[in-house]
Every structure is written in C-alpha cells, then in structure tokens.
Chain A
Amino acid sequence: GDSVTQMEGPVTLSEEAFLTINCTYTATGYPSLFWYVQYPGEGLQLLLKATKADDKGSNKGFEATYRKETTSFHLEKGSVQVSDSAVYFCALRARSNDYKLSFGAGTTVTVRA
C-alpha cells in the first residue's frame, strides 16, 4: 500500500543552521506530495505541496522538490529560526485514493537561539 518514510528525529539545531528532513514514499502511480507542520498544541498546517514530478514546492523559506527517480520529497531550509521549532510531517495523496492522506511518523525539530 501507499506509505511514507521520514527521517527519524528529534533534530536539534542552532539558529541560522541548515535544515534537511528526508522523506521517501511508496505509491502506485504518481501521488501528490505534501509537507505539513504542527506547532505545539495546534493542528496541522499545510507548509508546501507538489503535484507532479520535478515540481518544487516552497513557502516561508522552506523548499521541497518532487523527485520521481528517487521517490523522495526532502524538506530543506537554508537558515532556521527559533519559530521553526515544530513537528514536520511528510504526506502523500494517491491518485487512486484521492480522499485520504498517508502520513509519515513526523520529525520533531527544535531550534535553539
């Protein structure tokens, strides 16, 4: 079935450091890919998305590129801030089951001043 594997955390960084969170997926066909972020005590917020191969999603300094050849959608940010501390979830939506999202386990990121 469809599944997402994320880099395990937790990840602790200093402010202005470079962040990468790895995400790979297994799905039939070409799914849509998403990164969601969850701040403490809150629900999930969409961070960025890509709907086809080679698409790059970007938002708030974060980027991820849909790589069909490596079935990956790694999240990157060049210079993190304390306010980026959160849990990040990679997710896919298969074209055959367009009603549901399949999530990875999440990666907790803590940025220290």
Chain B
Amino acid sequence: DTGVSQDPRHKITKRGQNVTFRCDPISEHNRLYWYRQTLGQGPEFLTYFQNEAQLEKSRLLSDRFSAERPKGSFSTLEIQRTEQGDSAMYLCASSDSRDSNQPQHFGDGTRLSIL
C-alpha cells in the first residue's frame, strides 16, 4: 500500500497565474476526492470522481477550478487566474466504494501560496 501521493507538496505563484496539482490514489480505489483546507479550519469538500466520472461538485468550486480524472487513475486539479483567496492546502483522498465501511485515505496535500 503506497498510499495517496500528491505533487507538488508546495507551490508558490503570483496572482493571476494558472496552477495544476496532481493526485495519485491508492491503486485499487475507484473513488477520488479533492478537499481544500484553509488555516485553522477543517477540510472542505470540493469534488469527487468515481472511476473517470466526476459525480459531484461543491459550490466552492468556482468556474476557475477544473478537475479531471481521464483514465480513472490519477487526477489533476487546475486553478486558473489564481487569487489571494485560493491560498490553502489542497488535499486529495481515495476510497473503494465497494466497501461501504471503508474510510477515505488522504495524501499529504499540496500547499498553495499566492503572492
């Protein structure tokens, strides 16, 4: 079990730039989730995939955000025209929907800082 892997761990960029993050889930997991965590708060759900289908998106996910999981394996989260308010930790998690009692397993996150 190699765990959920996220890349990069840290990203610093200027306001207005585009950024893309990658998440590699646990290999046998068919569900993949993205959360955002701001300082001093708990993670907030953004979106999730079952295999390659994006089944739910939070209202937090503005039209500047887009997520893909083209082959049902890894996923990318892109933020276009970044704003100061996008500074946060972006967490990815995965699980196996065939086991209803299985929890979500989280990666170490990508910390985004907007200058």
The residues of B with any CB-CB pair to A shorter than 8 Å are: 4, 6, 31, 33, 35, 40-45, 48, 50, 55-56, 91, 93, 100-101, 103-109
Contact = CB atoms under 8 A, between A and B. Distances in A.
Interface in A48-96: 49, 51, 89, 91
Contacts of B4: 43
Contacts of A101: 35, 43, 45, 104
Interface in A2-44: 4, 32, 34, 36, 41-44
A103 B37 CA distance: 10
Interface of A: 4, 32, 34, 36, 41-46, 49, 51, 89, 91, 98-106
Contacts, number: 52
Contacts of A103: 42-44
A42 B108 contact: yes
Contacts of B101: 32, 51
